[in-house]
Amino acid sequence: MKLSGLQRPIAIALAASLMVAAHSSLTVQASSPSHGLSAFDELKYLADFQHFEYVNPDAPKGGRLSMIGTAGLTTFDSFNGFIIKGDAAQGIDLIYDTLMTRAFDEPDAVYGLVAHTAELADDKMSVVFNLRPEATFADGTPVTAADVVFTFQMLKEKGSPPFSFSLRDVANAEALDDHTVRYTFQGELVRDLPLTVATLPILPKAFYDRHPFDETWLVPPLGSGPYAVADFKAGTFIKYRRRDDYWAKDLPVNRGQNNFDELRYEYYRDRTAELQNLLNGTFDLREEFTSVDWATAYNVPAVNDGRILRKTLPDEQPSGAQGFMINTRREAFKDPRVRQALDYAFDFEWTNKNLFYELYQRTGSYFENSTMKAHGKPSPEELALLEPFRDKLPPEVFAEVYSPPVSSGGGRDRQLLRQADKLLREAGWTLQNRKRANADGEQLQIEFLLFSQAFVRIINPYIANLKRLGIDARIRLVDTAQYQRRVKSFDFDITTRRYVLRLTPGLEMINYWSSATARTEGSLNLSGISNPVIDSLIDKALSATSRDELTTATRAIDRVLRSSHYWVPHWYKSAHNLAFWDKFSWPEVKPKYNRGIIRTWWYDEEKAAKLKAR
């Protein structure tokens, strides 16, 4: 079982310049026009590249792909995905273009889309984007620098925290003419800002003159991207139609991509209904996040005779941080010993064996499945960052990095429960008439806030262990809308979440772990982390000038986070488990850092005909 974050990731990096050298690692020349940007001046593709290596440039266009999108999203009530209000429809980003777009076989590189080039100032404090005059919105009106400026102003002033915090050090955007826009930065942490603004969606100012930016609405928005909203029923489905008149369909960054005539996202209230509707042919494709279903539920005729394929794709991105997020804003959870005791009470080994068919590994790090994960004792380079804060950090930071306890796998490991009991007693929570209570006689209570039944079978054994410790633990299952409201306002004890981190972590770390977001409603800092040492280390990571420096800083962050026990870590697998009806094809090469399905797969008419005949 794997959670996907509800946040739309924002690619972030610094500029690299146009090159003439014919090799894959390019040298930056400041202030010269660049066809692409990267955090550490690394671009794989030359200015005259024809297409990305992971696409089939001759992929046929046509057909339909209907699917389940992001795990855990069971409804939508808005097409405005840029504000804190409402639940936005999946896939809405398909209708918008950006100044530059990701290459998914590089850690963070982007290449020109609406902007054909970018020019980074020598002092790195501003960047100019040169827009293509042929760029148009779906109604035929031109995409102008004024639209880019409007987008920036709205996202910074009224956008949800993932946008507004990412843009806090972008001082200004100005249209130099209709096809030239300049962004100006402030402060010292500017490395990632050129690419932050390069990957913002471009919103048409004229549309928002009629539809308030800070309100929810279900009017199909106007965009300049490859798809447009074709049909929808709120909370049930949304359908996008590929635009034949899409202005950028023949650009190198789009060649071999956006191959389906129709994309449709289906919504179901629970995963059991999703699975049954896939197996009966209601829709085409689903990623399986429930291990017991992957192991047992696909023994059906359509799978056994090959009409439905099961395919596992490698996931080479950081697995991120999935776990039970403990809300330290609650008085009962302010003591890290209480939080660590909750870790000792969760028996992952039993869970993995009995519920997950041993398909997962235990998550130990906030940077799991990446080189940024801390190991062993701090390196000399890490110590150089940590030593100035020794008097503000627990001694454990300077020893072997904290890892979750390993149980006997029996479901109620007495040794671990005794350790949890010891930690709780030290924190002032003693057993009084078999109840874990504080000095005032108040019992320790924990409510797990959920919106899906999927986690109930996992949490119930955990609750049994917590009750053995005298804790009054329970599950609160609410509908999706109420869940979103409560999480955004931090009205919970513990909830589940997965933080997604990029290969070049940047400003998203502020939204996840900084003091600035701990009290900001709608931020993704669910645990309420407010630690000046972490703030300082995030600054070090954001100002790193090489990947080695970035790795050192993120490992130091990982050590401090893990020693503070802000979560009970879950599990991960470095793979995507897919089930789909056999009517699609895909390129020989998968994009290294993306599933590639929506972007690079295509409808195979020959396969579809055979499937229909069967």
Percent of the chain with pLDDT over 70: 95
Whether residue 223 is found in the same domain as residue 325: no
- Segments forming the whole domain that contains residue 186: 1-315+574-614
Which tens digits make up the pLDDT trace of 450-459? 998 889 999 9
* One domain for residues 518 and 548: yes
Mapping DSSP onto H, E and C, the string for 496-551 reads EEEECCCCCCCCHHHHHHCHHHHCCCCCCCCCCCCCHHHHHHHHHHHCCCCHHHHH
501-547 pLDDT, tens per residue? 888 998 889 999 999 999 999 999 999 999 999 999 999 999 999 99
- C-alpha–C-alpha distance, residues 274 and 277, integer Å: 5
| Whether residue 265 is found in the same domain as residue 355 | no
**What mean pLDDT comes out for the span 184-202?**
94
- 549 has pLDDT over 80: yes
Quick: pLDDT tens for 559-583. Answer: 999 999 999 999 998 889 999 999 9
Cβ(444)–Cβ(436) under 8 Å?
A: yes
Question: What phi-psi label fits residue 568: left (phi over 0), alpha (psi between -120 and 50 degrees) or beta?
Answer: beta
Note the pLDDT of residue 449.
Answer: 98
Regarding pTM above 0.95, the answer is: no
State residue 31's pLDDT score: 61
Give 120's strand partners.
127
Residues 224 and 338 in one domain: no
Total residue count of the chain as it appears in this document: 614
Q: Is the pLDDT of residue 21 over 80?
A: no
Q: What pLDDT sits at residue 469? A: 98
In this prediction, residue 5 carries a pLDDT of 36
- Which H/E stretch holds residue 337? helix 336-345
pLDDT tens track for 25-37: 333 334 689 999 9
Local confidence band at 71 (pLDDT 50, 70, 90 cut-offs): low
Mean pLDDT of the chain: 92
Confidence of residue 189 (pLDDT cuts 50, 70, 90): confident
pLDDT the model gives residue 70: 76
Q: For residue 10, is pLDDT > 70?
A: no
Question: Are residues 26 and 161 located together in one domain of the fold?
Answer: yes
Q: Which domain CATH number covers 385?
A: 3.10.105.10
Same-domain pairing of 580 and 523: no
373 and 305, same structural domain? no
Average pLDDT over residues 397-411: 96
Residues 548 and 614 in one domain: no
Same-domain status, 365 and 331? yes
List the one residue out of 113, 246, 129, 118 whose CA is nearest residue 179: 129
User: How many domains in the chain?
Assistant: 2
Task: Report the CATH number that the domain containing residue 163 is assigned in CATH.
Answer: 3.40.190.10
Instruction: Determine the 3-state secondary structure of 262 from DSSP.
Output: strand
Looking at the fold, whether 395 and 488 belong to one and the same domain comes out as: yes
Instruction: Determine how many CB atoms are found less than 10 A away from the CB of residue 232.
Output: 18
Which residue bears the tokens 């599933």? 595
pLDDT, residue 72, reads: 66
The pLDDT of 338-342, averaged and rounded, is 98
Q: What percent of the chain has pLDDT over 90?
A: 84
Helix H, strand E, coil C: the string for 274-290 is HHHHHHCCCCCEEECCC
Mean pLDDT of 133-146: 98
Give the pLDDT of residue 481: 86
CA distance 505 to 522: 20
Q: Based on the domain organization, do 191 and 214 belong to the same domain?
A: yes
Q: Based on the fold, state whether residues 458 and 578 are members of the same structural domain.
A: no
